[in-house]
Amino acid sequence: MARFVALLRGINVGGHRKVAMADLSALAATLGFTGTATYIQSGNLTFRAKGTAAAVEKKLEQAIEARFGFPVEVVAREATTWSGYVAENPFPEASEAEPNRVMLLLSKAPPAATAIGALRPRAVDGERIEATSDAIWIHYPAGQAKTKLSPALLDRLVGSPVTARNWRTVTKLAEMTAALEAKPR
């Protein structure tokens, strides 16, 4: 069984599309996932499962819609891929100084080849955008309140639904998947 990180997109925001993390963990267990653990209320799940990341995404999406009554997009990555994101972070100094202002963006499909070139001209207030492997990183030095990089724009220019997590969450999920390796199966 491989170790995975799954990110749920757009849940528990403004009182809409509520998914309790205990319910999410229990649901994952019914799918045969083991060692399930969640982190904060934004839909972060670590676990062991058989199959590919794409298969895990599909299983979770179907089960979430059946259980909660609304669709939720899931982006899943194997733990080895996740640790690669940690190593590839193009903004290490900013991540250390302001971990809540450096975001890892992952999309369901690989980002369009034109995504970075289309996003950079829309950056404001010193925002920096870089690509690594299949990820996009954005540093928001002035915060996200006035950004022009809306979720709809990101989805459109990347060419696939995107979900983002800040550096603090990225590193916590890496720790959680590492801990899964140490736990008995």
Clarify whether residues 103 and 77 are in a common domain. Answer: no
22-34 per-position pLDDT tens digit? 999 999 999 999 9
Q: Which of 149, 140, 83 is nearest to 116 (CA)?
A: 149
Q: In sequence order, which residues have a C-beta less than 8 Å from that of residue 66 and are 6 or more positions away?
A: none
Q: Which of 82, 83, 105 is nearest to 160 (CA)?
A: 105
Q: What pLDDT is recorded for position 184? A: 64
Clarify whether residues 101 and 115 are in a common domain. Answer: yes
149-182 per-position pLDDT tens digit? 999 999 999 999 999 999 999 999 999 999 988 7
Task: Please name the amino acid found at residue 116.
Answer: I
Q: In sequence order, which residues have a C-beta less than 8 Å from that of residue 48 and are 6 or more positions away?
A: 1, 2, 3, 4, 33, 34, 35, 180, 185
Range of the domain at 53: 2-82+172-182
Clarify whether residues 76 and 129 are in a common domain. Answer: no
Clarify whether residues 78 and 90 are in a common domain. Answer: no
pLDDT tens for the 185 residues of the chain, in order: 999 999 999 898 777 788 999 999 999 999 999 999 999 988 999 999 999 999 999 999 999 999 999 999 999 999 999 999 999 999 999 999 999 999 999 999 999 999 999 999 999 999 999 999 999 999 999 999 999 999 999 999 999 999 999 999 999 999 999 998 876 66
> What is the CATH number for 101?
3.30.70
Clarify whether residues 52 and 75 are in a common domain. Answer: yes
Domain count, the chain: 2
> What is the CATH number for 16?
3.30.70.1280
